[in-house]
A and B are shown apart, each in its own frame.
Chain A
Amino acid sequence: MEFHSPDSWREALEVKAAQPEAVAIFGGTDVMVDLNFDRERPGAVLDLTRVPELGEWGEGDGRLRVGAGVTYTRIISELGSELPGLAMASRTVGSPQIRNRGTVGGNLGTASPAGDALPPLYVSDAEVELASTNGTRRVPVVEFITGPKRNAMRPDELIAAFHIPRAEGPQQYAKIGTRNAMVIAVCAFGLALRPERKRVGACLGSAAPTPVRAREAEEFIESVLDWDSRGEIGDTELRRFGELVGEAASPISDVRGTAAYRTHAVGVLARRTLGWAWDEYRRGE
């Protein structure tokens, strides 16, 4: 097995161009499990942890560019107020040891339907920045994730960063699992309110082959929310929102839960998170 550990981005892209089959590794929290269990035996591995740019983030005109190698721990401690939904989702990932190593870039690379970083990216219409020696391109995250464990990255490309607007209002993330730590989501739900545009982003995780936006639920609730006077949401409307989110699910039954349970539970998460986010908005936070 060949091992490359370039210390510049340029060099990393050159390695990937010369050896498109090389497997990139950052935190290793997905890659190493495959290597340790002999599920994968790549001819070459490309370590990206020495590329300084990947660990950087910055802000310009209200949008953030976050390097693919920023860990969950850093998202929680450095970006909690800019990206509260993603920070909440990051807190649910694995354990301190996993959050100290695991990255959003790796979550995008793995493209698991249960990836906890993904719903927050979906609800904020984030874009993934891909790079190769031929240049860079930006792909909306909904187009980047193409199926379970599949994404739109070409073999000669690497993930440089993701671009995401700073939160425009309250955000939430909730996840169901058998314990409070170290669980792959049975189902999960991300929510973002954008009061200035009177828009709501709603995304289901672990309830379909990819994360999915609940467009009907979004449109329904946008039209009934009392944005200007910040009135309470009626019980009927909350319930309807939950139902419509449930209808957006196309889950499977597996060891973690049945399809029926997932559909029901994700609706409950939707109802609750909307209640929390709307309360926060009403309090004017």
Chain B
Amino acid sequence: MRLRLNINGETREADGVWEGESLLYVLRERLGFPGSKNACEQGECGSCSVYLDGVLVCSCLVLAGQAEGREVVTVEGIAEGEELHPVQRAFVEAGGVQCGFCTPGLIVATHDLLGRNPDPTDAEIREALAGNLCRCTGYEKILDAVRLAAERMS
């Protein structure tokens, strides 16, 4: 089938989409947005997190056709222009990135958190990022990064 959706502010079309594939697959394999990572395909790791009509979701759990005509924002759409978004900069500076595989999902999830709650407590940060797994950092630096981003954005 043919799919038409808005990604990071631009209309995109994909042809020959199989009805059973996920939005994640469409993004990565058909439309050239490899920022969202594919690690588990079962909603467990959060590395595929994107906004769907402004709501944080795992794109591996969205059926392609469910995104028809909808607005998707991926990690590629978080920054404006060439400058890193403050959330991205904070992750780099605080050492929240090691292998980087989990990073795109965490950036989008942190962006979502700070949009709703600009000054989160540690407990709220942990709760908001509970669906994003990282196998490298041990999470401490990620928490530092979120706190740093919150500070700078407020």
Contact = CB atoms under 8 A, between A and B. Distances in A.
Interface of A: 1-3, 5, 25, 27-29, 31-33, 35-37, 41, 45, 47, 49, 94-98, 100-101, 180-182
Nearest to B46: A97
Contacts of B68: 5
27 contacts: A1-B18, A1-B20, A2-B19, A3-B1, A27-B61, A32-B22, A32-B62, A32-B63, A33-B43, A33-B61, A35-B20, A35-B22, A36-B22, A36-B41, A36-B60, A45-B19, A45-B20, A47-B66, A96-B56, A96-B130, A97-B46, A97-B57, A97-B58, A98-B61, A100-B57, A101-B58, A181-B131
A100 B43 contact: no
B49 interface: yes
A53 to B, nearest CB: 17
Contacts of B92: none
Interface size class of B (residues with CB under 8 A): 20 to 34
Contacts, number: 91
A234 B126 CA distance: 37
B116 to A, nearest CB: 10
B41 A5 contact: no
Given A27-B61, A28-B66, A97 B56 contact: yes
Contacts of B41: 33, 36-37
Contacts of B136: none
A61 to B, nearest CB: 33
B65 interface: yes
Contacts of B131: 94-98, 181-182
A111 B119 CA distance: 38
B127 interface: yes
Given A3-B65, A100-B56, A181 B1 contact: no
Contact of A95 (B42, B46, B60, B65): B46
Contacts of A47: 63, 65-66
B62 A28 contact: yes
Contacts of B22: 32, 35-36
A157 B64 CA distance: 24
A181 B130 CA distance: 6
A43 B123 CA distance: 44
Interface in B1-39: 1, 18-20, 22
A25 B20 CA distance: 11
A168 B58 CA distance: 36
A100 B63 contact: no
Given A32-B63, A97-B131, A182-B44, A41 B109 contact: no
A1 B44 contact: no
Contacts of A41: 20
Contact of B43 (A5, A25, A29, A180): A29
Given A29-B43, A96-B56, A101-B57, A5 B19 contact: no
B66 A25 contact: yes
B66 A98 contact: no
Contacts of B44: 182
Interface centre among B49, B61, B68, B128 (most CB of A within 10 A): B61
Nearest 10 Cβ contacts at the A-B interface: A95-B131, A181-B130, A3-B19, A1-B19, A36-B41, A32-B61, A33-B42, A97-B58, A3-B65, A97-B131
Contacts of A98: 43, 58, 61, 131
Contact of A100 (B1, B42, B55, B65): B55
Contacts of B42: 33, 36-37
Given A33-B42, A36-B22, A100-B56, A95 B63 contact: no
B84 to A, nearest CB: 23
Contacts of A96: 56, 109, 112, 127-128, 130-131
Contacts of A28: 61-63, 66
